[in-house]
Amino acid sequence: MKNHRVHPVCHMRSGASTETAHSLLAEEPLSIRVQGNPYTVVMRTPGDEIAHVAGFCLGEGIADTMNDVGTLAFCDEDINVVTVTLTPERSQKVPEILDRRGFISQTSCGICGKELISDLRQAIPSVDAAPVTFSCVSRALDGLGDHQPLRDMTRACHAAALFDGDGTLLSVAEDVGRHNALDKAVGMLFLKNQLSGAHFLVLSSRISYEMVQKAARAGIAIIAAVSRPTALAVELAHDLNMTLCSLSREDGLFIYTHPERITA
């Protein structure tokens, strides 16, 4: 299944119109089944489905390491359905998550920010990381577009990229959903047991509390983004000992929490 499709477009200007074509970003449902049962359906851009689900399982607390996973595969060659089975030991540890009572990235109706932060704070341990230089983070942000061929083609997708402490790119993914892009980028390293090498995360989108949650579950303490964070993301990041920063329109970075990790 392609991650984009070419569609005819009418380009109208004053007094005239012409026919052209645009590459449009594909969006398809991905059904995730856990322990033989439907768990959730997410809308995503086709591609990297196994990595996507691996990152999703880590982010939601379904698995802490790949050793918790028995199998992770497509269902009968259908790339829109991925099935996950856990080891017996892991399934006994997370019954509430398997019942979706612990599906913490999906806010319940009526829950307030303080209640959500309290729940997440109890479910996710604080994270830490060594400082990284200002120039290293700035280069990664400025260069993110160089790793977004699908965005260049469609102008309609997000990206997430993981870097080591020296600014070397470890993984990058694009998707119509920013959460999906992050799950894919994390999952690529999680599948290979290389996630511990990731030092900071760069996002093409704003930083919402869900992105902070997923990064914390992956053990990543520094998030840099093109757009600003939400107030709830800042509150959660502060409590989880994480550093959030975004691009300044004028020059440099805005740093919202724990600025000591970004050094001159």
Query: Choosing from 109, 112, 136, 245, which is the catalytic residue?
Result: 109
49-67 burial, b at 16+ Cβ within 10 Å, e below that, comes to bbbbbbbbbbbbbbbeeee
Residue 243 lies in a domain: yes
What pLDDT score was predicted for residue 174?
Answer: 97
Predicted confidence band at 144 (pLDDT cuts at 50, 70, 90)?
A: very high
Gap between the Cα atoms of 216 and 211, Å rounded:
8
Residue 64 lies in a domain: yes
Gap between the Cα atoms of 90 and 69, Å rounded:
8
* Residue-wise pLDDT tens digits, 46-84: 999 999 999 999 999 999 999 999 999 999 888 889 999
* Residue-wise pLDDT tens digits, 187-217: 999 999 999 999 999 999 999 988 999 999 9
Residue 156's domain is classified under what CATH number?
3.40.140.10
Whether 105 and 141 map to the same domain: the answer is no
Residue 185 lies in a domain: yes
Number of domains present in the structure of the chain: 2
Whether 253 and 137 map to the same domain: the answer is yes
Gap between the Cα atoms of 113 and 235, Å rounded:
9
Q: Check if 109 is active-site.
A: yes
Whether 180 and 253 map to the same domain: the answer is yes
What pLDDT score was predicted for residue 114?
Answer: 58
What pLDDT score was predicted for residue 102?
Answer: 43
- The first and second tokens of residue 113, run together, are 């920010």
Whether 102 and 141 map to the same domain: the answer is no
Whether 160 and 235 map to the same domain: the answer is yes
Whether 93 and 201 map to the same domain: the answer is no
Whether 82 and 145 map to the same domain: the answer is no
Residue 124 lies in a domain: no
Q: 258: domain range?
A: 132-263
* Residue-wise pLDDT tens digits, 221-231: 999 999 999 88
Average pLDDT over residues 126-142: 94
* Residue-wise pLDDT tens digits, 32-46: 999 999 998 888 999
